[in-house]
Structure 1
Amino acid sequence: MIQKTFLQAVIILSAFFLIWFGFSQLDFMKFFKVKERTENLEQKLGDLIWNQIEDTEDIITNDTIVKSLDKLIKPICDANDIDRDSLKVHIVIKDEINAFALPNNHLVLYTGLIEDCKRQEALQGVLGHEIAHIENKHVMKKLSKEIGYSVLLTAAGGTKGGQMAREILKTLSSSAYDRSLEKEADITSVKYLLKANIDPKPMADFMYQMAQDSNMDKSMYWIADHPESEERAKYILEYIKGKKLKSKSTISEKDWKDFQEQVKKE
């Protein structure tokens, strides 16, 4: 009897370890096509939201303006092995001082932000921040947490996609990421700039300027809904403290001012 029980136990244990070994060899992400489905969802959501913006907002397509913006983005991408062509950068004619990332690598800038940046490096810092959100997959993390994965699936495949797209756009354009994700994006942007020989200090100055400006509606700020604005400016300055900055302007001061004037006229 004891021998039989022992034999049964050995068989059960052997079966357990065989099953465990079998499952351990499986690539569950590949088996269930999780990555493929997530990327497909992100693509559908990004295009859905961007189509909503295109239908309701004025978009700058002026080739001179688009090329000037690209000159500011390119060194960041080149120095950090980021595929420039993977980024879909858009300029929306709107007075708000705002920029935000959408799913599927869409990056939206409002003309108000471009006009309000005193230095080109400040705008590049903001661009780097949003690129960091894209590269670090923060956009879908935020949406999954705040809206819910099942709702996102419904939005991407349902008949009420337009209505849900507006809600998702509101979430991305007017509320902050978790503090840890914001700090990660800030520091990643600083690293991007340092590698591209762009001075990160104007980025910190811009944050501090936005945080201190009491003459404008706070809802107009790129910085307004981001937590602890002054603290963020301080930890950026602390991060670059003691580092040798080989800073150089990407475009001439005249070209920068011309770029801002052209944007203002649109």
Structure 2
Amino acid sequence: MFSGLIKFLDNENQLAGVLGHEIAHADRRHSTQQLQQQYGTSLLLGLILGNRSSNQLVQIAAGLGQLKFSRSFETEADKYSTIYLNGTRYYSCDGAAGFFIKAEKQGAAGTPNF
């Protein structure tokens, strides 16, 4: 969290939604899983391709395999954010949705500036 992101948010529900999304990444151990898969993919490709390939080729191939993996983590974090917030009396469970809709609209002209 940083001040630029907080200033971008319209209300407390959006803040709670974004925090819930980030907490879900930690709770579901997405970083650890992603590192394990990336290391395993790089190791496997290195063994298959051997010394004939450049390290850069291995990194590119491993990175391409990560795209779907990362999207599934984002979807899971969204899901758990709503689950976490659904149990509260003070925050709407769809707070993150408002943030992402706003960011997507601004992102149509480029990356949102936080």
Residue 106 (structure 2) aligns with: 213
Structure whose residues are more often strand by fraction: 1
Is the aligned partner of 1:136 residue 2:28? yes
Structure 1 pair 215/182, CA: closer, same or farther in 2 (3 Å)? closer
Give the Å deviation of 1:205.
1.4
AA aligned opposite 1:208 = I
Q: Judge conservation of contact 1:122–1:200 (CA < 8 Å) in 2.
A: no
Bigger RCO of structures 1 and 2 (CA < 8 A, at least 6 apart): 2
Q: Give the share of equivalent positions with the same residue, in percent.
A: 30
**SS of equivalent residue, structure 1 residue 178:** helix
2:37 maps to 145
- Structure 1 partner of 2:92: 199
Q: Against the structure 1 CA distance between its residues 116 and 219, is the aligned structure 2 distance closer, same or farther, given a 3 Å change threshold?
A: closer
Root-mean-square deviation over aligned CA pairs: 2.7
1:117 is the counterpart of 2:9: yes
Structure 1 pair 182–214 and aligned structure 2 pair: CA distance change class (3 A): closer
Counterparts in 2 of 1:217 and 1:176: CA distance versus 1, 3 Å: farther
- Counterpart amino acid of 1:209? K
Unaligned runs of 5+ in 1: 1-108, 152-174, 222-266
Structure 1 position 144, deviation (Å): 2.4
User: Over residues 21-43 of structure 1, what are the superposed CA-to-partner deviations in whole Å (9 max), with x where a residue is unaligned?
Assistant: xxxxxxxxxxxxxxxxxxxxxxx
| Displacement of 1:145 | 2.5
Deviation at 1:178, TM superposition (A): 2.0
Whole-Å separation in 2 of the counterparts to 1:203 and 1:219: 15
Q: TM-score, normalised by structure 1?
A: 0.30
AA partner of residue 139 (structure 1): S
Q: Please give the secondary structure, in 2, of the residue aligned with 1:213.
A: helix
Report how far residue 218 of structure 1 moved. 1.1
Gap change, CA 1:117 and 1:186, over 3 Å in 2? same
Q: Distance in 1 between matches of 2:102 and 2:112?
A: 15
Instruction: Tell me the TM-score normalised to structure 2 length.
Output: 0.64
Structure 2 unaligned blocks of 5 or more: 43-66
Question: 1:143: Cα distance to partner?
Answer: 2.0
What is the CA–CA distance in structure 1 between the aligned matches of 2:107 and 2:17, rounded to whole Å?
22
Q: Secondary structure at the match of 2:96?
A: helix
